[in-house]
Amino acid sequence: MAMTKLAEPYSLTPAYNPIKFIYKSTNSNNLGFKYIYDIYESGTANKIAEYRVLPEYSTGNGIIDLTKLLQAKVTFNLKETAPVAYTASNSYYKYDVKVGEEYLTSTSYTSALTASGTNVQINVANTFAVGDQVVITQADLGVANPQLEGLFTVISATAISFVVNSSWSAVTNANIDGTVTYADNRKTITRDIATDLNNYVFNGAIRWPEFPSYFPGEYQLNGANDLFFTNQPLDFTATLSQDIVAQVYSNNGLTDTMYFQNSDGDLFSKDVSLTSVLGHVTVGPNNYGTLTVVAGASPLINHTTEYYEYWYDRGAGQVSAKYRVNIDRRIRGEEYSILFLDRMGSWSSFAFTLANYETGNVTRELFNKDVQGYISGTMWNYKTTDRGLSNVYTSVDKSIELNGNYMSEDMAAYFEELVSSPVTYIKYSNYAEDCDTPSSDSYISCNVTTSSFSIFKQKNKNLIRQSINITFANKDLVNG
């Protein structure tokens, strides 16, 4: 037997895109043939799934897509205010694929049939035993020897021949070839003929038109044009209260460096030590953490800072593109910002600094109960404070209409990822009079309820502004 791998996904691939393995077996034409795909947590005996796959009709190939299985194995990590890098252990999963096969146990004979007493003897090496029920299929489907087609019992057997309860006198052509299988459809099973080990998926979903050109080498931080696992534009605008968490490809436990440089030329660094394949590094204006001054003076963001850039270094120079964050000081004292999981597994945020409107909705469940009243003398009466129609469950839902400031075309395109993100959090920030000192509350889980959005191009609209509606993910219950 031989098992050949025809196609596989990259060893690091997004979990929400196709993850197809295609193998070809030389036994794919055998009766009852199926490929056996065993999927393991990498490096362990923990089997997470087993699939039996029919060969494709036209090619005999065994094709399987593991997307649904593996996307259930990844979620996300979030430590939005962590001052250092941290492991994104939930954002990826490592797995092994082992491929085997099964088919009906069969014995094909080409030697001429002979007589054994009054019964038919088939001369071929075999493993049959007396009493086995077998099915014989002849090459001509029983035209020449109709009494030797179908179900029979083995009445004697040796290593090189066996006899079935079919009359020799009914044989008209002893040279018809045939195949013998067990009547109980007993199968020959061989596992782990081919293995594909040490594969990774990460919590990412690349758009359909872009996935065919996906190449993980662009994200493995080996050159000055490599990218972090994010779709955030290389030129981004953020307020001082916004958080940004970049998902990066790690370096096997070695200490790397994230560099920061502001528009004044001051250079800073932050050590990054990650033992997992993927890690998170906080890089936003509000959560870049404690930096070491390399040149110039602290802080990274001061009253004159217009922007800063950050990039990755593995000890021998820049190994990522430079990401720029322009400082947005268009603040009117307060703002909301939404932190969201983007399509490549990083966390980014948009600020909403214009007029925002909060509304509420009260939900009540009412029960009309009998008024018991009381007996006064010989008369029944009741108090006017007795309650018939009563509230048994009351909750308050709040929604907020958020209006953002003007943004670039690239940011407007990235805004789609906020609208479609499955995980979002809202934070309220209040600024001092100098607009340089935000005071932020903690994040509250929320859901974006906006279901439609416009895709703006600056050739059609010079000033692009976006708005969304959100509701809190948890209701406020009312006592009573």
Judgement on whether residues 381 and 272 belong to the same structural domain of the protein: yes
C-alpha 289/C-alpha 299 separation (Å) is 11
Is the pLDDT at 347 greater than 90? The verdict is yes
Place of tokens 């020897």: 145
The average confidence (pLDDT) of the chain is 91
Q: Are residues 274 and 413 in the same domain?
A: yes
Alpha-carbon span 284 to 275, nearest angstrom: 23
User: What local confidence, expressed as pLDDT, does residue 439 receive?
Assistant: 76
Q: State how far the Cα of 437 lies from the Cα of 103, in Å rounded to an integer.
A: 71
CA 290 to chain centre: 33
Q: How many helices (H) and strands (E) does the chain have?
A: 2, 35
CA-closest candidate to residue 344, choices 256, 218, 471, 198:
218
What backbone torsions phi and psi does residue 144 show, to the nearest 5 degrees?
-80, -40
Is residue 187 pLDDT above 90, yes or no?
Answer: yes
Q: What is the pLDDT of residue 103?
A: 94
Q: Tell me how many domains the chain contains.
A: 3
Q: Are residues 138 and 223 in the same domain?
A: no
Residue 171 lies in a domain: yes
Residues 369-407 have pLDDT tens digits of 888 888 988 899 988 888 888 888 888 888 888 888 888
* pLDDT over 70 (residue 480): no
Pair type for strands 119-123 and 187-202: unpaired
The β-bridge partners of 195 are 98
Residues 361 and 308 in one domain: yes
By residue range, what is the domain housing residue 277? Answer: 215-480
pLDDT in tens, 266-308: 999 999 988 889 999 999 999 999 999 999 999 999 989 999 9
308 and 453 share one domain: yes
Distance from chain centroid for Cα 75: 7
**Is a pLDDT exceeding 90 seen at residue 420?**
yes
* Structure tokens given for 123: 């001369």
480 and 415 share one domain: yes
Rg (alpha carbons) of the chain, rounded to whole number: 35
Q: What is the pLDDT of residue 477?
A: 78
* Sheet strand arrangement including 267-273: 235-238, 323-327, 307-313, 255-262, 267-273, 292-295
- CA dist 28 → 52, 107, 325, 396 (Å): 13, 16, 56, 62
| Share above pLDDT 90 across residues of the chain, in percent, rounded to a whole number | 69
Is residue 208 domain-resident?
A: no
Whether residue 241 contacts residue 440, with contact meaning beta carbons closer than 8 Å, is answered with: yes
Residue with tokens 């299988």: 181
What's the token pair of residue 68? 């649904």
170 and 136 in contact (C-beta within 8 Å)?
Answer: no
* CA distances (Å), origin 161, targets 137, 323, 353: 17, 76, 88
Name the token pair of 11. 């060893």
- Give yes or no: residues 164 and 197 share one domain: no
Output DSSP code: residue 441: P
The pLDDT of 227-256, averaged and rounded, is 91
Highest mean pLDDT among 85-89, 148-152, 475-479: 148-152
Position 463 pLDDT exceeds 70:
no
Chain centroid offset of residue 237 CA: 29
Q: Which long-range contacts (CB under 8 A, 24 or more apart) does 56-60 make?
A: 59/24, 60/24, 60/25, 60/28, 60/29
Instruction: Choose among 250, 200, 195, 201: nearest CA to 222.
Output: 250
Residues 33 and 157 in one domain: no
pLDDT of residue 353 exceeding 80: yes
Q: How confident is the model at residue 458 (pLDDT cuts 50, 70, 90)?
A: low
- CATH code of 33's domain: 2.60.40
pLDDT of residue 456 exceeding 80: no
Ranking 100-109, 139-148, 190-199, 434-443 by mean pLDDT, the lowest is 434-443
User: Which of 202, 227, 254 delimits the end of a domain?
Assistant: 202
Residue 183: pLDDT band by 50, 70, 90 thresholds? very high
Q: Are 154 and 132 in contact (CB under 8 A)?
A: yes
Query: 91 and 124: one domain?
Result: no
Tell me if 207 is assigned to some domain: no
477 bridge partner residues: 395
The pTM (predicted TM-score) of the whole model is 0.85
Phi, psi torsion values for 48, nearest 5 degrees: -95, -15
From CA 6, how far away is CA 194, in angstroms rounded? 12
**Do 222 and 337 belong to one domain?**
yes
Q: Spell out the residues 6+ positions from residue 433 whose beta carbon is closer than 8 angstroms to its own.
A: none
Q: Is 136 in the same domain as 195?
A: no
Of 136, 167, 202, the residue at which a domain comes to its end is: 202
Q: Beta-carbon neighbour count of residue 44 at 10 Å?
A: 11
Same domain, 336 and 466: yes
Domain boundary among 202, 227, 253: 202
| Edge-first strand listing for the sheet containing 133-138 | 106-109, 178-182, 133-138, 150-157, 161-167, 119-123, 114-116
